[in-house]
Structures are given as structure tokens and as C-alpha cells.
Structure 1
Amino acid sequence: MTVTPALARRAWGTLETLHVTGFFAPEVNAAYDRFAVPATRAGYFAARASAFGPCAPELVVSTFYVFAPQLVRAAVPAVWDAAPPADWAAARREGVATRLHDVLGEPDVAEAVELAREACAGLTPAGRPIYAAWSAVEWPEDPLLQLWHAGLLLREHRGDGHVTALLSAGLDPVEALVTGGLASGSTEFVRTTRGWSDDEWAAGTERLRARGLVDDDGLTQAGRDLRDDVETVTDFLAVEGWAHLGEERLHRLVELVTPLRQRMLDSGTLPDWIRSRG
């Protein structure tokens, strides 16, 4: 039996709903507040980049790809002056654990964790800098956090491949956000959280217009085709962990995690543009 990119995407999306809790749960931001770094999204940059160690802002700009350099530099390296990377990572886990247990309770996830960890065992680090850094981090002990951590590894592995797909498509960070926002209905979210100025956003839109990828109505057919190609390449590059797990066990993992995913979607933790995709 063959794991197709479409099936791999479905499996990723199921776990992703639990993983992105770490970006939106108020308990996570509250955990970051103890470090008192006023820069916008300081906790996000610090926690997600913590596996790199006390890195320079340039590494975050490069690997996170779609964030404005000035936004990153306002937070990094100030976050490392406030606390070491391990403390930021621990704060994120603490906040995530609180939200997961509040929403999901104490489900028996032993089988799901076993399957998710087996998928992660099939991931390889070459060309995947964020995944490679996180693959060296010790797994948490809490079973729900183990499931979340598996989602983290699979997400960062996929995300590294997504950057490769964006570069191959000739989409710079702003162009990636404009087209991706139009394709997913997340324009307001990405425009207000990625740090680009109105002038930079407008210039990126004009570059896309000149390529025939957007018009006054949004994405043109060429633009939709290009975004479809980006997602196709991303899906293809993200298959290896799921192929290692195998189709039968992949379906079982989806079956086990789907009720948890639905409870998280119903909890109001995630923004509407994510919930609407469920």
C-alpha cells in the first residue's frame, strides 16, 4: 500500500490542529509574559527558535522565511538576554499542556503516541534546518505533550519543505504571504502578524500583479495554479515520515486523533480561518 501526498497531508492536518494550539492558546502567551520582553511576538520567535540555541536574528529571518526582518530583530537577541532558550521552550510546553488538558482532559493516547513517534522516526534532517534542530530535543514525558511534540516535528519538517517549494516557485516572503493569504482566507491574520509595512505589502502585490498572479478580484487562475503547485510540492516533500509509518497505521492514527482534533476545533482556541478548514 502506498502513502500518497494527499493522504500524508490529511494525516499532518489532523495532528497540526493540536500542535498549533501552541501559537494561539492564551496560556502560552501568559507563560511568555514572565520574561517581560516587550517586542511583538517575542515569545513566538524565542520558543520556536529555541532549539537553535541563542541564535542570531539572521538565522530566524532565513528559516522562518515570511517574517519581516525588522520584526525579528526587535525580538532577537533580546529574548536570549531575558532567558535562555530552554526556558522559553519550557514556557511554551507549560502553556500548551495546560490548554490541551483543559480542552481534552486525560484521554488515553498511548497508541496514537506510538504511531506518531513511528512517523517521526522516518523523518530525515537534510535540508530541513528547523526540523533538524528540534529532532535533537528530548521528548516530553506527558503523553498529550508527546502527541503535540510529534506534531511539532512533523510540522517543522513539512514547513522546511514548504520554504523550498516557495523558493522554487519564485515567491519571496511578501509574495508568499499575499498569495497564501488569498488562497486560505488568512490575509488579515498574516498581514497583521508578519511585520511588513503597508508599502512593502503593496509592492509585493504589485510584483504579483505584474506576473499575472493577482488582480483586483484576488488570485488569478495563474495565481491559483501556482499556489496549487506550491502545495503539491510541499505535500510531496512531506511524505517520508508517513511512508515510514505505512498506510494502514496512518489511517489508524488519523482515526485516533480525529476526535481530539474536533474537540480542539470546537473549543474556540483557534482562529476562525483555521476552524473553517476543519
Structure 2
Amino acid sequence: MTKIARQAKKSLELIHAMIYFAPETADGFAELGLERGRMSYYAGRSAPMGPVCAGVVAATFYNFNPASIARAIPKAWSIAAPQAVLATRLRAADEALRRMLGEDAISSAVVSESAELAREAAQACPPEGKPLYAAHADLEWPDEPHLKLWHAVTLLREFRGDAHIAALQHGGLSGIQALALHSTIAGGFTPDSAKKLRSWSDEQWTRAVQQLRERELVDAEGEITEAGLALREEIETATDAMSVAPWSALGEAGTAQLFRNGGQLSKALLQAGAMPEGLRRTR
């Protein structure tokens, strides 16, 4: 079952994550008066928690530079209230999914079935110790199937993300250390992308890599070692173990069907440009 939890991330995450790169999101937040880029991201993702302080956002986001967050939060709440941010984000999800998937797909049985399956899974997640999941779980469910699916996948993503932070802490990795280690593997962010997206300086990044080297998790060239690979697998396995509840509740048949549907939709989104090229390492 733990392997299923990892497969869920691969099959479904882009259905939610496209929101961070969609021009509809950036334009919508800009219309509210939020600065494009980091302020919009921080406000958009943390809005379900209400007008929280920078410390709460940094704690729940984990691998973003807290100083960068403090420059945007709570300033963002003086520009746009969390409820306005949430409404804009949902509208952006609607417009982006319609653009990338097309109206035929949006109204298809695949999306309707996936929405119901994903909702059943998401509602089975225990909220204890999962602050971002719990905040999103308190939001009202959208009525339209494609938005219901997007919201459900958002819940599943944040549930796993909260669990991942707990596993990283157990593994003794700070946010930037986890990000630097992740950037050494295929499928992880490139170091340049990671620093830019998470707002870390070259000096902070170099220090984090040196700390990983001192633990023998990366070598002198900054490449991941066997010990680093073992720690990463330990952390991913622990994350999987804490993320099985929705899939146990959904059952084998329902989970398999959702993954098939999700893979199909994710492929279409990828082909439509939902994930910018060049962000991740290929080898």
C-alpha cells in the first residue's frame, strides 16, 4: 500500500500543481493587487489558513526562505483578504483547466468519475498534525466536476506534503538541505531553479550543500552518495507510510481507476504546457 501512496503523487499531482504556473493564476492575483511571483504564491497557497503571520507560512511551506515569506506576508492580507484570494484561485483553476484540457474533456465521464473517486479518497485523510491539509479540508467543495477534482487533488497533495515535512524533520534535514539534496536526483529541481523558486541565495545554498557534505550525503562534486540515496528513500518510505489512509479507504479497484484516469489527464496537461520546461533534472 505504501507504493500506491507514491504512485498517487506521480499520477495526480499535476492536476493540482498546474495552478502555480498557469497565467490565469498570475493575472487573477495581479488584478487583486498582489505582486506577481512570490507574494501571489505565498498568499494563494496559505489563504485557506486565513490571514496568518509569516512564521506560520514558513513553517508549513518548510523549504522556502522565511525571509522571502516575511517580505510578502502579512503585507498580502492588507491588499487582498484570504477569501478574495481563494475565490480568485478557484476561478483561475477553472479557466486554466478549461484551456488546457478543452471543453470536451472537462465534461467527460473521466473527469466526473475521477472527481467522485478523488473526493472519497481526500475525505478519508485524518487531519491531525496536517495543518495545510486541514485548512484546505475546511473549504467548501466546488460543484463542477473538474473543480471538485482539482480541489480533491489539492487536498491529497497537501496531506502528503504535511506528512513529508514530518519525515524530513525525522531525517534531520532542514528545508534548504532537503531542497539541495532533492536537486541532486533525476526528477528534482535543478539547483538554479530551486534557488530561484524557493528564494535562497547562492551563499545559503553553498552552506546547505556543505552541511550535506559533512553528513556524507553528497560528495565533493555535490553529487548524491549512497548514504544520501538511502536517506532519501527512508524519508520517501516514511512519507508513503503516513499517506496511505486515502487509498486504503478508496480500495484497490477505485484507486486503480483513479490512477488510470489521473494519468490520462496529467498527460494531457503536460502536453498542454502545464509544467514549464527546464525546471527539473533529467539525469
TM-score, structure 1 as length reference: 0.94
Structure 1 runs not aligned, ≥5 long: none
Correspondence for 2:189: 186
CA contact (8 A) 1:265 1:275 kept: no
Map 1:54-65; keep pairs closer than 5 Å.
54-65=51-62
Which has the higher mean CA deviation after the structures are superposed, 149-158 or 208-217?
Answer: 208-217
Q: What SS does structure 2 have at the residue aligned with 1:10?
A: helix
Q: Which amino acid aligns with 1:135?
A: A
Alpha-carbon distance, 1:8 to partner: 2.1
Structure 2 runs not aligned, ≥5 long: none
* C-alpha RMSD of matched pairs (Å): 1.7
Whole-Å separation in 1 of the counterparts to 2:188 and 2:37: 23
Number of residue pairs aligned between Structure 1 and Structure 2:
274
Map 1:70-85; keep pairs closer than 5 Å.
70-85=67-82
Q: Deviations over 1:166-223 (max 9, x none)?
A: 0000001110110011123313321111112211111111111111011205111111
Map 1:227-246; keep pairs closer than 5 Å.
227-246=232-251
Whole-Å separation in 2 of the counterparts to 1:217 and 1:167: 22
Correspondence for 2:252: 247
Q: Deviations over 1:55-89 (max 9, x none)?
A: 11110011111111110011101110001001111
- Is residue 191 of structure 2 the alignment partner of residue 200 of structure 1? no
Whole-Å separation in 2 of the counterparts to 1:73 and 1:40: 14
Map 1:77-226; keep pairs closer than 5 Å.
77-105=74-102, 106=106, 107-108=108-109, 109-183=111-185, 184-187=187-190, 188-215=192-219, 216-226=221-231
Whole-Å separation in 2 of the counterparts to 1:273 and 1:236: 31
CA contact (8 A) 2:168 2:174 kept: yes
Q: Deviations over 1:231-255 (max 9, x none)?
A: 1111111111111101111001112
Q: Which amino acid aligns with 1:75?
A: A
CA contact (8 A) 1:39 1:75 kept: no
Q: Classify 1:85/1:222 alpha carbon distance in 2 versus 1 (closer, same or farther; 3 Å).
A: same
CA contact (8 A) 2:20 2:41 kept: yes
Q: Which amino acid aligns with 1:101?
A: R
Q: What SS does structure 1 have at the residue aligned with 2:184?
A: helix
Which has the higher mean CA deviation after the structures are superposed, 207-216 or 256-265?
Answer: 256-265
